[in-house]
Amino acid sequence: MTTRDYLTIDDFDTDGKTILVRVDLNTPMDPDDNILDDMRIRSHIPTIKDLDDAKVVLLAHQSRAGKNDFTSMKPHSLRMSQYLGKEVKYIDDIFGTHARNSISAMEKGDVILLENVRFYSEESLQRSASDHAGTHMVRKLSPLIDIFLNDAFAVSHRSHLSIMGFTETLPTGAGRVMEKEISSLDRGIKGGERPCIFVLGGAKVDDSLKVAENVLINGGADKVLVTGVVANVMLAASGVDIGKTNLDFIESQGYTDQIERGKQVLEKFNGKIGLPIDIAFNDGGKRTEAQVSELPGDGLPINDIGLETIVAFSEEIKNAKTVVLNGPAGLSEISDFALGTHEIIKAAVDSEYSIAGGGHISAEVRNLGYEDKFSHLSTGGGACIDYLAGEKLPGIEALKIAATRYRLNR
C-alpha cells in the first residue's frame, strides 16, 4: 500500500490529547443569525466523533469583514451540539486569556468552539506558513495544543493564518473531511474505474478549461462534456454563431479571450470534448429550443442545453464508471432552465462512482435529495476546482511538509 504524503487522525495517539481542528463552518445565514444550510457543520461530525477520547478545540470562520453575515460562532456551536448529542461550548475569544483558560480547563471528551477566526485581522493575510507561525495567535495557542488537524478543505486554497501557521509549530494531519476530499477527488483526476467522464458547466470558463486540459493531459478523463457558459464559449470556439447577446455576456465576464483558448483545446483534444447539439433559449421567460446547426441568431440568451443534448449526455454519463460534475448546465435557479442540470445529476447516480465538485452543483444535488446517492459531494467550490485543475493548494502542501518533518523527527 502506498504511504500517504500527509498524515491523518490514524497516525496519532489522540487519547487525552488537546487537538486544535480547523473546520469550515461557513454557512448561509439570515439577518437574525439563523443558519439556513448546515451541510458544512454536518460534514465535520465524523472528525469530531473520531476524537471523542481527546479534548477538541475547534477554530472556524463565518463570512468575512464587510458582509452582513460576518458574525459570531455561537449559532454554529448550538447546531453542532445538536448533531453531536453533547455540548459544544462557544468561547467568545480566539487566543486571549479567556480562550487560553478555557482550553487549559478542558477535560477528555470536551469540545469547544473558539470565536470567528476572521475577527482577527491577520487571519486573512496571504503569507507563508513560517510567517504565520510568528503571529500572536499561533504563539499564544500552540503551547496549549498537542496536535493540529486541518479539516477545512474548502478554504485550503488560501494561505491564511489558521490554515498554515500551526503546521509549522505542531504535529499536523488531515481531518476526515480533508482526507475524503483528497482521496475522492484524486480518484476523479487520476482516473478511477474507466471510462471516466467530466461534465464541466457554470460560468467559470477559464477554470473549467484548465480542469479539462489537466484531466485530459494526465489521462484522468476519457472525455469532457461541456455545458453552461463553458459550452457557449466552446461552441463559439468551434465556429458556431451563438448570437450577440451571448457574446456580449461572455465579454462582460471577461472571457472573450477564452474563445481562442477554446479553439486550441478543441484542436489539441480532438474528439474528447463533447459539445451540445441543441440549446434552450430564454424567450421572455419561456424555454425555446433550437439545434446548434440552425441557431436563429436573434440575440436570445442561451440558458440551458437542449433535450437532445440532455439525452445524449445522459447516456454517456450513465455508461461511465466514474463521473465528475462541476458547475450547472444552465440557469438552474429558474425552473424552466434547470432541466439540463437536474437530468445530468440523475444520470450521474447510475455511474459506479460519482463526484459533485462543490459550489452550485453540490447544492443542486442536495436540493434534489440525491446527497446520499452520490459517492462524494465536495465541500469546496474554489478549492475543488483548483484541485481538479491540478493547482497546488497551500493548505494541502503545508500538510505534506508537516508530514515529512514529523516522520523525520520520529
Residue 252 assigned ligand-binding role: no
CATH architecture of residue range(s) 9-179+392-408: 3-Layer(aba) Sandwich (3.40)
Residue 333 assigned ligand-binding role: yes
pLDDT tens string, the chain, 410 residues long: the values are: 457 999 999 999 999 999 999 999 999 999 999 999 999 999 999 999 999 999 999 999 999 999 999 999 999 999 999 999 999 999 999 999 999 999 999 999 999 999 999 999 999 999 999 999 999 999 999 999 999 999 999 999 999 999 999 999 999 999 999 999 999 999 888 866 899 999 999 999 999 999 999 999 988 899 999 999 999 999 999 999 999 999 999 999 999 999 999 999 999 999 999 999 999 999 999 999 999 998 877 679 999 999 999 999 999 999 999 999 999 999 999 999 999 999 999 999 999 999 999 778 998 999 999 999 999 999 998 999 999 999 999 999 999 999 999 999 88
Taking the complete model, does pTM exceed 0.95, yes or no?
A: no
Give the pLDDT confidence score for residue 376 in this predicted structure: 95
Residue 358 assigned ligand-binding role: yes
Residue 354 assigned ligand-binding role: no
CATH architecture of residue range(s) 194-351: 3-Layer(aba) Sandwich (3.40)
Give the pLDDT confidence score for residue 296 in this predicted structure: 75
Residue 294 assigned ligand-binding role: no
Residue 267 assigned ligand-binding role: no
Residue 380 assigned ligand-binding role: no
Residue 361 assigned ligand-binding role: yes
9-179+392-408 and 194-351 share one CATH topology?
Answer: yes
Give the pLDDT confidence score for residue 1 in this predicted structure: 40
- Can you tell me which residue has the cell 476526515? 176
Residue 407 assigned ligand-binding role: no
Residue 359 assigned ligand-binding role: yes
Give the pLDDT confidence score for residue 191 in this predicted structure: 62
- Domains of the chain, by residue range, sit at 9-179+392-408, 194-351
Give the pLDDT confidence score for residue 27 in this predicted structure: 94
Residue 45 assigned ligand-binding role: no
Give the pLDDT confidence score for residue 190 in this predicted structure: 82
Give the pLDDT confidence score for residue 3 in this predicted structure: 74
Nearest to 302 by CA among 249, 339, 261: 249
What would the grid cell of residue 12 be? 496519532
Residue 258 assigned ligand-binding role: no
Residue 360 assigned ligand-binding role: yes
